[in-house]
Structure 1
Amino acid sequence: MDGKAFKVFPPSKMFLIMKLFVLIICLSSFAAIPASSYSQDTKLSLRVANTSIKQVLTEIEENSEFYFVYNNNLVNVERKISLDVNKWKISKILDAIFENDEVVFSLMDRQIIISPKNMAGVKNAMQNTVAGVVVDEFDGPLPGVSVMVKGTSKGAVTDFDGKYTITASSGETLVFSYLGMKTQEVTVGGSSTVNINMEPDAMGLEEFVVVGYGVSKKSDLTGAVVSADIERLSEIPNVSVLQALQGTVAGLNVGAVDAAGEDPTISIRGQNSLSSGAAANQPLIVVDGIIYRGNLVDLNKADIESVDILKDASSAAIYGSQAANGVMLITTKKGKVIGKPVINYTASYTVQTPTSNALEPMESAELKDFLDDAYPGQDVQSLLNTQEMRDGYANDYNNGMWDIITGDGYINNHNISVRGRSEDFGYFFSGGFTDVKGFIINDTFKKINYRMNLDAKINDWLSVGTEAFVTTSDYSGASPRSDLSLLVMPWTPLYEEDGSPRQILQNTWTNPLLDLETLDNDKRLNLFANIHADVKLPIDGLNYRVNFSQNYRTTNHDSFDPNGANFTGYGYKNSSINYNWTLDNILTYTKSFNNIHNINATLVYGVEEITTSFTNANAQNFTNDILGYNALESGDPTLNVINTGKEGEQSLYTMGRLQYGFDNKYLLTGTIRRDGFSGFGTNEKIGVFPSIAAGWVVSEENFMDSTDNWLNYLKFRGSYGSTGRRAVGRYDTQATVTSTVAGNFGYVFGDGLTPTQTQNIESLANNNLGWETTTGLNVGVDFAFLNSRLRGNVEYYDNSTKDILYAIQIPYITGFTTINTNIGEVANHGLEVSLTGQIVKSPDFKWETSFSFSRNRNEIVSILGADDDGDGIEDDLVANRLFIGEPTGVVFDYEIIGMWQEADEEADVIPNGFFPGTYKIADLDESGDYSATFDKKILGYTDPDYRFGIANTFTYKQFSLYTFINSIQGGKDYYYGTDALIFGATNTQNERYISQNVFKGGWDYWTPDNPDARFRGLEGPGTYEPNRYLQRNFVRIQDVSLSYTLDKDILKKTGFSNLKLFVSGKNLATFTKWRGWDPETGQGYTQGTPLLANYTVGLNVEF
């Protein structure tokens, strides 16, 4: 059986589906458009000459629904002005009217309060307690709204009923902010009551996004910057925050996790380099403004406030030489403006089970049926290659190997935090515990983490703070090899009569169960701390910040295998210390002139130093193994090995960025960064990476006024810039020397003498090794329609990477095999689409859906520049599967065009080296012979044609249901199928025998009665054996989460401020023809682990 099939849509139909998706949202939105904000949407025309301000305000009131509140004694409304405006928003008109006056005004939809800016003379007399209620667009109370006195640290947060109380002076401004709502400002007057009706900010234009060395309003962005949706981070069972982002962000690719506590591989917008390893495509990770070198699994996902991703060269250029693969910015939680400390506790328990058993080995009865079918009319028992297997076959013995080494896993997770703020001090403390058991026995991971984030206002010009965490991790335990366990026949005894594991199985393999006797202790520590100070300089808008961070990481891995080194015992003690520190000096200038010209300038000067030291000691052939790795001296002294080392590297960088906005319509950003890195050659230590970007908010233009009823926002963006990659070893540019240990592989002087320790040059120097540079163009459009009920963006990018860091082969006569150098060029381009729609929005029921789509393809433009065959076209590097004009990930092999049948043998048309049941391959050069040189071709590409994801959130009163569907379409990968697992061989009597088990999905093989099988016959491969490649198309129900939040009336009785119960599932169903572990990662039969389904129950309590 091929499993569940899913219809795969070609790209042309995929775009049609996207159009239908947009149409459905549009039609649904027309039925539920609420009244828009009057003050935000109304535009007025006004023409007055030498008229008092009082008369002008009266005329505005007569021609609109606005009305003004002010004190004649405090605001000069008798001054005369002249004004001629056409279709201006009220805020802009008031800016023009009071351009020369020290007044402020606050808009509350139709009510406008005007008051003096400087109320110093009357503040004390008018200071009072202000209270009120904050509600949403449906007049429902909004708890958790931040209420701040502008320019101070005084603040409050609304309670269950949306109520707040705060002390403020008359003339001061209250700022009301809430995620997803438009920020509102109200000036305190004589009234002690201020009620607010918050309005949705569907585009999030008022939200601030982390852009590196600072923040920026979303409305001011000119590059490809996206904020990941991590709202349900605590409900979905992921140990690492990276797993939670899988499929949710267009252009972000997240790989597999094969072991407990492991970080998945990630890449942004595909592959820019010729190297295909994880490190070659890994984006730069920045945590709380500091480049982070540790494992992301060490970060507690419950501590994360936001994840922002810089995808284009312009946005990422601020990090210069390390940003060619994009940048991921992670910001952790800080103290919030609240009246009392808030304690939050989350607990969850997850059960993990494999999503498929197709690659499990067959058990005794099933394998008997399989072999009877595979060898009709033969005595299968006699074909087994050991007597013990033949005995087990006769007695229906089943060793249960797979059940011994595997089992359901779990994730046990607990997090608690305390968060609060006084007027001048904010704090966030947290602690977490995670316990993971993987699918394979002894695959375990435990971690304990603590975090402390503090910030304090020392005085009006100085603030200080720190972000620090410590994580202790335990990876101890040795797991047996799952791939070898798949091959062991079920009739083979695994244990001796005394119950101890047998050493050798089937005359060939070391018993995988012996790995369970290994004493393995793997402990790690990660300590991170960043301290910073912010200074307001005497010049208005000019600020200085200094960051000093340190990251100290240790690993101590001790292991002793009593069955290692040919059963004489093998042990080691390995320890390493990784330490890096960073010092950043950041100068920023932010200023707005007449509310039209907005400037944000940033200068950075920084230095980073990284050191690594290690000590590795191992021994074998133990005379006494009682103390194991704690007595390595018990090993054979002639075989003991000790390695120690220490390495270091330094970076020095400067960066300048200027952001300019004119009238909230025209945006310009320019960045230049200069990097120095000690790891590069003498002639190439410095790299310069500039970028420029521009944006045009078309919807703010007067000629767009007629579209206000359906088009809310439209911005075009474009950027061009360069970034770098410095993926070289610390000493790759230098000639390195290695020593040969005496008594092992030392050099012998003379005949029969004792080997002597020697030193020799291990690698060649290359003083011209320099930066790999990626230059990229990005164009994008952001939009919002139908009162922002439908919103999204479209991005197109085109990158070119040159001077690629690559190890090329050199003639053996040099004494070396390769040398690192800069070669070639790779082009990389793609399209990304993100859409979000509010299908239904009512007081009790809401339905929001989002859609992401990405398509990426790269192309090798140049490799070595050689043309050895003289045809005028640059040569391919076939041995490395690199072809000019093709992507970096190609499937290059013989083309399977069928299966040789018995009728072909009877007709004598089967070439030499083939027989019935072997693959028929194409003779591309029509020579009648087959060779790897002339008969292999490009069969496809490993990268998918496109990816898409669909998320839906349904909210009904206190219930919320979230679903996410993830899919890739296209892309081939090698499939290690039945044809590779079962093969024939001969014994001493020249008879066929059977020695390997088969996995449960391996029934569809060739026989004379099954000529159209998926895999070749079991008689063995032909002389020319092609690999089997299959499409990895799939659609997966990846995440489902159902939560219930207790009603506020019930919560009041419990003493909790919030209590949420949730159940969730991950990887619940996958529709695919792929028969391996996971189609997303292309794992067939490998040493990886099955894709695991997760079932979680949990709760979140706040009080």
Structure 2
Amino acid sequence: MKRIFTRIVFLALLFLSSFAFAQNGTITGKVIDATDKQPLPGVTVKLSGSATGTQTDAQGSYTISAPANGTLTFSYIGYANQDVAINNRTTIDVNLAASNKSLEQVVVIGYGTQRKRDVTGSIGNVSGAELTKQPVQTPTQALQGKVAGVQVLGSGQPNAQPQLRIRGTGSVLGGANPLYVVDGVLTDDIRNINNNDIVSIDVLKDASAAIYGVRGANGVVIITTRKGKNGPPVIRYDANAGFRELSNKVQMANRDQYINYLRDASPNDVARDVAPLTTPGTTDWYDAVLRKGLQMSHNLSLAGGSEKTTYFFSANAFTDDGLIKTNSFDRYSFRSNIDVKITDNLTFGTQMSLTRSNERPVPLTGVYSNVYRAAPIIPAQDENGRYGNTSIWGNLGNPLLSLNKTNNQTINNRVQGNVYLEYKPIKSLTLRTALNADAYWNKQRNYNAKFAADGNIFTVAGGQQFSNFSTLFIQNDQSFWTVWDNTATWQQNFGQHNLTVLGGFTQEYIKTDLFSGSRRDVPEDPDLWYLNTGNPDVGAVYANSGTLFRRLSYLGRVNYSYAGKYLFNASFRADGSSRFSKKYGYFSTVGAGWVISQEDFLRDSKVISNLKLRGSWGQLGNDNIAQGLFITTVQPNLPYFYNNNLTLGSAIQDIKDPNLKWEKTTQFDFGIEYGFLNNKLTGEIDYYNKKVVDALTNVTLPAILGDPDALFVTNAASYRNSGVEFAIKWSDKIGKLNYTIGGNINYNKNEVVGLNGGQALLGGSIGNQGNITRTDNGQPIASYYVLQQTGIFQNQQQIDAAPSYNLGGYGKSIGGMIYADVSGPAGVPDGVVDSYDRVYAGSYQPKYYGGFNIGLDYENWDLSADFYGNWGNQIYNGRKAFRANALDNIQADYASNRWTPTNASNTDPRTIPQNMPASTYFVESGAFLRLNNLTLGYTFPAEMLKRIKINKIRIFAASQNFFTAKRYSGFTPELIPTDVISSGVDLNGYPTTRTFTFGLNVEF
């Protein structure tokens, strides 16, 4: 019996020791990406059913203690979770596949996040990985063609901020750009953000932007930057270098074409003796002023952390020399994101970026616009550095001389960031307070040198082009913007009910200061470019101004879902603003959704992976107007005579509307989200209707109050944008080839639906042609309002039969324009062509726009191509229309096609004189399709890099704006307007660039 008992005890101890051994078994392995076979650092490895866990190191390796019969769970953001049974193994390597379940994607919705599957609004998302494929200066440039409903207007000019139009243009005087939110910091300018630091960009396109109330009328772009993770330090180095060149060069007339044109346009000047004033050959003024500009970027980042503290640091140096000689831009930026878990329920964090930039801009109006018109028979500069004397020929000044005699410089210093505390007194409640700040200090210095007149063909000074004195302009301005956010978020699950409630208040404080001054006769030595070195007695001008602005807002939001298939949300915001006499405006939104694919009758469908209907309605505001616009001011120290004595007094110089109020936008959106075949095919369809009421516009004062032409600003206009968005994406693999094809197309109708007593807004002024655009009832904003050209006079009989012209000196002639007699003072044709005969001829706002994208991955190679374009819009060729004088140059195609006695053209006139009126002749199609980005990359195999302890090396070659298919005869159909009502008038825009770069991505 004792022997039996001893054996039982021995077997029990053996079993327990075996169990103990299983409990303490060590498992090692490596986790790599299933597609590119690269190691994945920071992957969470957890023993299922326990708290035991670890993370992979920089090489993707891990070590964990686990029982032989246990199961390990591997999870990583952006990848599908994977459960692996241990089965007595001591080494387990895992290939993690990227998740194609877009429903689990988390998007930022303002003051919080939400799963894509639970969103009831229209939100576009672009990942940081997609953005970094394009080595561009600002993140918004990389958004072109990637988000449905978002139009991005870019420029080749260094340090230019692209303009975004989200679902059309919704305001004229109140601003049309969206609000940007960077890690909670509200801003209007994101040129300080480095692409490599971005995790994602979320675009709130519909009434979901109402959570930002008065700031969200034009949409909201939310940018989230990178943070550290618990794990060993990860070092990344990203660099690219290349050059920019002119993407589309407009060919100007050569020497012979130019002189032949002058025989018609200015026969008296051609009759001169040309030889002493010119040299043989043709001067290409674009070659004289433009160059290939260097572009280069270096970015170094460090990320890591522990269970208590995570960190992310980055430093970036960016250089863009620009296309125009003497143009340059350098930017240096540093970012720090730190999160500290003080206790289990208290977290402290800070995000901060420091940016310093140094730019040497060029005067586009006085230099680049003149290149188009400069005579090709005068050399730009000889081998001795002397300038060709264009002015002695009677043409405008030498553009190269103007460029070299101007030295502009702008230095910008900017600090942006926040600090926050987050406290969870209970699991379901989160209290958060954050102080956000955005401050900048600008210093601008513009110096124009003195140079004298000289009558020679070559001159050091500049011929008849001269400046009798030097001038120095200096401006120092600064801005300080703070936002204090305080929110409470309660989130709780009740069975299949999920409820999230947000409440809080925010305070904004904005203060700006500006000082500027100018003086003459400042020495040429840059070390002496100060106002006190100039002449204090002549030409000294000084100005000082500033603003102080405050907002106080209260906000709330409720998100509810049942069983993951019935969705509801509502938000409310009360905004108080010092820009209006009626301080508070109230804005709200509601939204609902139905995830049909979660119903029992579709849950197990092998075809339909996702099907969701959603709709939203809401109101938003816009207070983007000048401070004090409703306050009547008095101008002091005005001279007047009283009792025959000159006396100083005060008077009201303008009329203000004391009842100015918010521009209010009401939006409705209905959308369908779909996914088929395990979400290989995904996409969205949206219909929206967005109406702006109480929009600011100019109204004529009643004549009884004085000047009948005087205007004042009031709420008297309404605009509407309505349209449809369609987005689609297919992702799959064929063998080792992974591929993605996607695209979006958008239709938008923009219309002025009521000026309510306001006056039509005029814009786009061009020389003697006057205003080109007119914003009026029933038309898109900034529609072209011009005469209708119907042909070219071929003979005297046509001239005699045509209506008479009353066009400010422009008359009828053989080879001249034929204009339609459309209307008159009584609204019917009256036999006279004059200003009453102007017609609407389209606008710059496209009816359709969008893009499509292609991504290929084969073993270690990757290829991406992004296309972008629009159609259904027009451009007014202002360069062609504006004639400073008859001696201005012309385009080569016009020189070849224009009417002559031997070329009976019925489209192009014999000459384009100074007094030619605005007409449809200068209105051209703005449709285009551009290969926006083309990138080819190669990632070195992980096995090769393991020996040198490097996680990843990728090299790539990329091109932006590789080619553009267009119909417009000018440089580019993509224009950035100086103001909304002048959109689409091509006059002084910076040349569009094509970029070629080579780059490197390294991770340690």
In structure 2, the CA distance between the partners of 1:191 and 1:802, relative to structure 1 (3 Å rule), is farther
Which is worse superposed, 242-251 or 1041-1050? Answer: 242-251
Conserved? CA contact 1:851–1:951, under 8 Å: yes
Q: After superposition, give the CA deviation of every residue in 1:739-786 in whole Å (9 maximum; x if it has no partner).
A: 67xxxxx73769999x99875544434331111111111111111101
Match of 1:355 in 2: 247
Cα gap change, 1:927 to 1:817, in 2 (>3 Å):
closer
Q: Which moved more, 1:938-947 or 1:128-137?
A: 128-137
User: How do 1:173-572 and structure 2 match up within 5 A?
Assistant: 176-183=74-81, 198=96, 201-257=99-155, 259-275=157-173, 280-293=175-188, 295-313=189-207, 315-338=208-231, 340-358=232-250, 360-362=251-253, 366-372=254-260, 375=263, 383-384=269-270, 390-393=275-278, 395-396=279-280, 401-476=285-360, 478-479=362-363, 481-492=367-378, 499=385, 505-507=392-394, 509-512=396-399, 513-537=401-425, 539-563=426-450, 566-572=467-473
Is 1:157 the counterpart of 2:59? The answer is no
Deviation of the 1:404 alpha carbon? 2.8
Structure 1 residues 185 and 904, CA, compared in 2 at 3 Å: closer, same or farther?
A: farther
Q: Equivalents in 2 of 1:169, 1:671: separation in Å?
A: 50
Distance in 1, Cα, partners of 2:395 & 2:796: 38
Tell me how far apart the structure 2 counterparts of residues 335 and 172 of structure 1 sit (CA, whole Å). 30
User: What does 1:588-599 correspond to in 2, within 5 Å?
Assistant: 588-594=489-495, 596-599=496-499
1:952 counterpart residue number = 854
Summarize deviations over 1:159-211 as a string: whole Å, max 9, x none. 66x64334689999976433443346799999987776756532422221111
| Contact kept in structure 2, 1:235 and 1:1098, CA below 8 Å | no
Matched to 1:280, the amino acid is G
Indicate how the Cα distance of structure 1 residues 309 and 703 shifts in structure 2: closer, same or farther if over 3 A, else same: same
d(CA) in 1 for partners of 2:580, 2:44: 52
Structure 2 letter corresponding to 1:1007 = T
Q: Tell me if the contact between 1:235 and 1:1063 (Cα under 8 Å) persists in the aligned partners.
A: no
Q: Which residue of 2 aligns with 1:85?
A: none
| 1:1026 paired residue number | 919
CA distance in 2 between partners of 1:562 and 1:196 (Å)? 68
Q: SS in structure 2 opposite 1:219?
A: helix
Provide, for residues 1012-1058 of structure 1, a one-character-per-residue CA deviation record: whole Å limited to 9, x for no partner.
35421117478755242111122222211000000111111232110
In structure 1, how many angstroms separate the alpha carbons of the residues matched to 2:380 and 2:772?
42
Letter in 2 for 1:157: T
Distance in 2 between residues matched to 1:306 and 1:1016, nearest whole Å: 53
For structure 1, which segment, 401-410 or 1036-1045, has the greater mean C-alpha deviation from structure 2 after superposition? 401-410
Query: Would the alpha carbon gap of residues 468 and 709 (structure 1) be closer, same or farther in structure 2, given more than 3 Å must change?
Result: same
Query: What TM-score comes out, normalization by structure 1 length?
Result: 0.79
The match for 1:822 is: 715
- Take 2:332 and 2:543, find their aligned partners in 1: how far apart are those partners? 31
Inter-partner Cα distance in structure 2 for 1:713 and 1:341:
39
1:183, 1:697 → 2: CA distance? Answer: 23
Task: Summarize deviations over 1:260-309 as a string: whole Å, max 9, x none.
Answer: 1111111111112244xxx711000000022124x311111111111000
Partner Cα separation in structure 1 for residue 85 and residue 419 of structure 2: 36
CA distance in 2, matches of 1:610, 1:1017: 56
Which residue in the other structure is 1:831 paired with? Answer: 724
SS of 2:943's partner is helix
Q: Out of 886, 893, 898, which is 1:1005 matched to? A: 898
Q: Within 2, Cα distance between the matches of 1:155 and 1:506?
A: 80
> 3-state DSSP class of the match of 2:344?
coil
Deviation at 1:123, TM superposition (A): 13
Q: C-alpha displacement at 1:391, in angstroms? A: 2.0
8 A Cα contact 2:874 2:984, kept in partner:
no
In the TM superposition, residue 787 of structure 1 has moved relative to its aligned partner by: 1.5
Deviation at 1:424, TM superposition (A): 1.2
Q: CA deviation at 1:949?
A: 1.0
- How many angstroms does 1:968 deviate by? 1.0
Separation in 2 of the partners of 1:658 and 1:558?
A: 51
Taking the TM superposition and a 5 Å limit, the aligned residue runs for 1:581-980 are: 581-594=482-495, 596-620=496-520, 628-632=528-532, 634-681=534-581, 684-705=582-603, 708-738=605-635, 747=639, 760-811=651-702, 813-814=705-706, 817-838=710-731, 840-865=732-757, 881-902=774-795, 904-905=797-798, 909=802, 911-912=804-805, 913-925=811-823, 927-932=829-834, 934-976=836-878, 978=880
- Could you give the per-residue CA deviations for residues 1065-1097 of structure 1, whole angstroms, max 9, x where no partner exists? 111111122111211338675221222111111
Q: Determine whether 1:579 maps to 2:471.
A: no
In 1, the alpha carbon distance for the partners of 2:993 and 2:655 equals: 46
- Aligned-pair CA distance for 1:618: 1.3
Q: In the alignment, which residue of structure 2 is the partner of 1:88?
A: none
Matched residue type, 1:806: T
Is 1:1039–1:1066's contact at 8 Å kept on the other side of the alignment? yes
How many residues align structurally?
936
CA distance change for structure 1 residues 1101 and 496 in 2, over 3 Å: closer, same or farther?
closer
Letter in 1 for 2:512: T
Structure 1's 185 and 439: CA in aligned 2 closer, same or farther, altered over 3 A? same
TM-fit CA distance, 1:505? 5.0
Q: Which amino acid in the other structure matches residue 104 of structure 2?
A: E
Do 2:699 and 2:759's aligned partners in 1 also have CA atoms closer than 8 Å?
A: no
Match of 1:11 in 2: none
Distance in 2 of aligned mates of 1:490 and 1:1056: 57
How far residue 798 of structure 1 moved from its aligned partner, in angstroms, is 0.8
Q: Which amino acid aligns with 2:339?
A: D
The whole-number CA distance in structure 2 between the counterparts of 1:215 and 1:123 is: 44
Determine the C-alpha separation between the residues in 2 that align with 1:194 and 1:590.
38
Structure 1 residues 273, 173: CA separation in 2 closer, same or farther (over 3 Å shift)? farther
Instruction: Give TM-score, length-normalised by structure 2.
Output: 0.86
**CA offset at residue 602 of structure 1?**
1.1
Indicate the larger mover: 248-257 or 813-822. Answer: 813-822
- Residue by residue over 1:467-523, the C-alpha shift from the partner in whole angstroms, topping out at 9 and shown as x without a partner, is 001000001354561111322213336679995656955456444313422343321
Displacement after TM superposition at 1:220 (Å): 1.1
Sequence identity, in percent?
26
Instruction: Give unpaired runs (5+ residues) of structure 1.
Output: 1-121, 741-745, 869-877, 985-994
Distance in 2 (alpha carbons) for counterparts of 1:322 and 1:867: 26
- Using the alignment, how far apart are the partners of 1:124 and 1:308 within structure 2? 50
SS in 2 for 1:1054: coil
Q: Are residues 932 and 305 of structure 1, via their aligned partners in 2, closer, same or farther at CA, if it must alter by over 3 Å? A: farther
Which secondary structure state, in structure 2, belongs to the residue aligned with residue 280 of structure 1?
coil
Q: Distance in 1 between matches of 2:497 and 2:20?
A: 31
Determine the C-alpha separation between the residues in 2 that align with 1:168 and 1:900. Answer: 93
Q: Distance in 2 between matches of 1:687 and 1:172?
A: 59
Q: 3-state DSSP class of the match of 2:402? A: helix
Cα pair distance change 1:961/1:189, threshold 3 Å: closer
Structure 2 unaligned spans of 5+: 1-18, 452-465, 761-770, 806-810, 976-982
